[in-house]
Amino acid sequence: MKAYVFPGQGSQYPGMGKDLYEKYPLARELFEKANSIIGFRISDIMFNGSEDDLRQTKVTQPAIFLHSVIITSVLGDSFAPDMVAGHSLGEFSALVANRTLTFEDGLKLVFARATAMQKACEMNPSTMAAVLGLDDNIVEEVCAGFNGAVVPANYNSPGQIVISGANEAIDKAIEILKSRGAKRALKLSVGGAFLSPLMEPARKELKEAINNTLFRKSVCPVYQNVNAKPSTDPEEIKTNLVMQLTSPVRWSQTVTNMTKAGATSFIEAGPGNVLQGLIKKINRDAVTRSIVV
């Protein structure tokens, strides 16, 4: 069974999607439609912008979504997923891939999400940090000592967790985690404490947008971040998607559950190959590849 997986923020790179635009009329049509929907030429920033240009949340999120969705769109009938999942932002790409959302609605939600998250970041200076080489329970125990100021945000693979929280609390947590035996604990170059309670203002804003969007019955299950479980039910998917902004991404559990459900290959759709590396750490026998078009 084919499992398609979709990357999240951090996978962007200058020039992303330009080859698709130049090679496929459908890609050109979708990029131009996206430019119209969000009100500026994001395709120009993707193709010609710098790393700094692409690092702006309002650019990063729709850019990664567009690359991921358009690369599957140009596959035509050969794109036939048995199950899908996305890492954080990538869950929106996955929901277009399994036809829960249309391209247009998916892009509008991603742009609303990015805008809301940017505002939340400006309200609460905050950040994230990667922690390597510690058991999950030790990281959870350290985070619990901060009374919500620091929380686990991404369960990326065994021995790799990202934590999220207020700036000073993250600095202190890094010190403690290193003293508890972490091989590495380092701050990430991100705009705020994504996937944490500090995103509550963004969650409320996104909830309204999600509730005003039509979610259809999926053609295959999506394994969602908040519980790592499959769903095809539109209302359940909406509820979990609202919770996602302030909840951890359970990626390790997601890949394990997809494997148990019969996934024989994991195909990464979108920029980069970060998810393939994580999947190999979760299941060394997994077959992984990127889409080649």
* Rounded Cα–Cα distance for residues 244 and 199 (Å): 10
* Rounded Cα–Cα distance for residues 275 and 39 (Å): 30
- What is the reported pLDDT for 124? 82
- What is the reported pLDDT for 190? 79
Q: For the whole prediction, is pTM greater than 0.85?
A: yes
> Do the Cβ atoms of 11 and 270 come closer than 8 Å?
yes
Q: Specify the pairing of strand 83-86 against strand 222-223.
A: parallel
- What is the reported pLDDT for 61? 94
* Rounded Cα–Cα distance for residues 100 and 33 (Å): 19
> Do the Cβ atoms of 216 and 234 come closer than 8 Å?
yes
User: Which domains does the chain carry?
Assistant: 2-122+197-290 (3.40.366.10), 125-187 (3.30.70.250)
- The CA-atom distances, in angstroms, between 51 and each of 15, 55, 187, 204 are 10, 6, 18, 30
* pLDDT (tens place) for every residue of the chain, 293 residues total: 999 999 998 889 999 999 999 999 999 999 999 999 999 999 999 999 999 899 888 899 999 999 999 999 999 989 999 999 999 999 999 999 999 999 999 999 999 999 999 888 888 889 999 999 999 999 999 999 998 899 999 999 999 999 999 999 999 999 999 999 999 999 987 778 899 999 999 999 999 999 999 999 999 999 999 999 999 999 999 999 999 999 999 999 999 999 999 999 999 999 999 999 999 999 999 999 999 78
Sheet holding 126-132, edge to edge: 150-157, 160-166, 126-132, 184-187
Task: For helices 103-123 and 90-97, give the axis angle rounded to 10 degrees.
Answer: 170
